[in-house]
Amino acid sequence: MKALRFGHCVRTGIAPISLAMLGIAAGGSGATPDNAPDRGKAAYDLHCAACHGATGDGKGLASVWLFPRPRDFSAGQFKIQSTPNGSLPTDEDLLESITRGVPGTSMPGFAHLPEADRHALVARIKHLTAFTDSAGRRVNRFEEAARRGELKPRSVVPAEPPADANAVATGRDLFIKFACNACHGDSGAGDGPTAATLKDSQGFPLLPRDFNTAPFRGGHSGRDIYLRILTGMAGTPMPPFGPELMSPEERWALVHYIRSLRRPDAEVRDILKLEDAFIRARRVKKLPTDPADTQWERFDPVRIPLNPLWPEPKPIYAVAVTALHDGRRLAILCQWRDDIANGAPVRVQDFQDGIALQFSMNGTTPFLGMGDKDNPVNLWFWRAGWQQEADGRPHGLREQYPSMHVDLYTQTNTLIHTAEAAKNLIALPHTSPVEDANARGFGTLKSQSLARQNVRGKGIWRDAHWSVLFTRELNSPDAEDVKLRLKQPVPVSFAVWNGEQGDRNGRKVISNWYQLLLEP
């Protein structure tokens, strides 16, 4: 099989709740009001409120499943800004965060939204940055700062000097002098002696950045890192190193040293451009029916970056996707690195590997977590445990505990098979390792009936990689199946579960929305 590169990539999208299958497409979901305040509220309610809360308090429905927690706008603390520490960000800062997202977190980029929507979101966020004073009045922090003349301009970042050996050596000395290694570790792996004790302003544990491989939340350019050192990150233990502590030359030397700690295979893609967001399904005469078919080697895959919704010791950074069709059927091959294969979760401490594809049913990019009531999604979910069943490989208690003692009476079997009696797809014998399901928002995931399960699949684990193939007829008569037509893009996003790390339900790594395009 063609060698694939599964290095570390930075991008800032199944189960009862799929939290953030993130958004990239050529337009938003639903009509957007022309009036700027209404436009901002509509966009915020659709794309942001589920995580940040309707009032911007950071306590949306999804927040309990996300780490780090979503920003509480009412507190007036913004991690990513170009203004001095303790001051509010500029409109440009907020726009950059909305457009780019926050790499390595569940906060996606919204470059796909119209620019007018993103500017309206800036205004909406500023509107929500408010508190109630002792007299019970609502005070907007931005308006109050403007009244007092406390709004600051963006910090000036001098031109980046050459990153020569002397600069890197100076940066290393500064790294030790200012005790950066106390949090980030001597090698920059985020394992310093104080790392386990750090907490954010809300009292939640917060791990320091791993400079070797992890995404840089504020971006990866020299300017980005320079600003994080200069202004710090509000609401976190990361302090500012302003003019009273460090000269611009020293700050640049520290930037160069931090970048020298980066692993060569730690790839960076801060913003996904729309032209790169297409997965093109090539037309072939004969469709491969096996993940190991050598025909796949003729086609270059699209590398889909993934981001964790919860910190993981060894996150899966990307999935490689190849799509083909023969005019009658579609085949999608997904491949990713996973050092240990985890099948059926027989014991309570076991979790299985899996991958899911989420398709928008109406061509829009709805809310990132399972769509919404007006914009449903169709999900194809492959499970490693179901693959074991399809392969005829035993995976029950007898295989897990070969010397176990049987202590159940046979006449009790019918009493404990309620799921089978209710025809729950999870409990029935599976004709395919792929579940075909639908959702219209949080908690609405519903499997299609056994008779309507028309997505086929096959997964192979080999050489520390999963290769999973999904196939389905292009023309499905089922109203709840995604419609696949030539030359008509369909928004699709991906989620991967690593059973070895305890992934399940909303704990996983996710992609942004992409566009699946079937070529004629």
pLDDT of residue 11: 34
Total residue length of the chain: 520
291: cis peptide before it, omega within 30°? no
Q: Which residue, 157, 319, 327, is CA-closest to 229?
A: 157
Domains, the chain, ordered by start: 36-147 (1.10.760.10), 165-260 (1.10.760.10), 277-518 (2.60.40.1190)
In whole angstroms, what separates CA 319 from the centre of its chain?
Answer: 12
Angle 233-238-243 (CA atoms, 0-180°, nearest 5)? 80
pLDDT of residue 416: 58
3-state SS, residue 318: strand
Q: d(Cα 199, Cα 429) in Å, to the nearest integer? A: 47
Q: d(Cα 221, Cα 347) in Å, to the nearest integer? A: 45
Beta bridge partners of 282: 324
Torsions phi, psi of 431, nearest 5? Answer: -85, -15
Kindly state the helix (H) or strand (E) to which residue 295 belongs, with its residue range. none
pTM to 2 decimal places = 0.85
pLDDT tens per residue, the chain (520 residues)? Answer: 454 544 433 333 333 333 333 333 333 444 456 677 899 999 999 999 999 999 999 999 999 889 888 999 999 999 999 999 999 999 999 999 999 888 888 898 888 889 999 999 999 999 999 999 999 999 999 999 999 999 999 999 999 999 999 999 999 999 999 999 999 999 999 999 999 999 999 898 999 999 998 889 899 899 999 999 999 999 999 999 999 999 999 999 999 999 999 988 776 555 555 556 899 999 999 999 999 999 999 999 999 988 889 887 788 988 999 999 999 999 999 999 999 999 999 889 999 999 999 999 999 888 888 898 999 999 999 999 999 999 998 777 778 888 877 666 565 566 557 777 787 888 788 889 999 999 998 889 999 999 999 999 999 999 999 999 999 999 999 999 999 999 999 999 999 999 999 999 989 999 888 999 999 9
3-state SS, residue 242: coil
pLDDT of residue 395: 79
Strands (E), 372-482: 377-383, 434-439, 446-447, 456-462, 465-473
pLDDT of residue 317: 83
Q: At what angle do helices 248-260 and 222-231 cross, to 10 degrees?
A: 120
How far are the Cα atoms of 89, 436, 484 from residue 361, in angstroms, in the given order?
38, 13, 10
Contact between 358 and 508 (Cβ < 8 Å)? no
Q: d(Cα 300, Cα 290) in Å, to the nearest integer? A: 17
Cβ neighbours around 168 below 10 Å, total: 17
Quick one: CA dihedral 497, 502, 198, 70, positive or negative?
positive
* Lookup: tokens for 365: 């990019």
Q: d(Cα 65, Cα 57) in Å, to the nearest integer? A: 16
Q: d(Cα 367, Cα 106) in Å, to the nearest integer? A: 13
Q: Which residue, 409, 460, 398, is CA-closest to 433?
A: 460
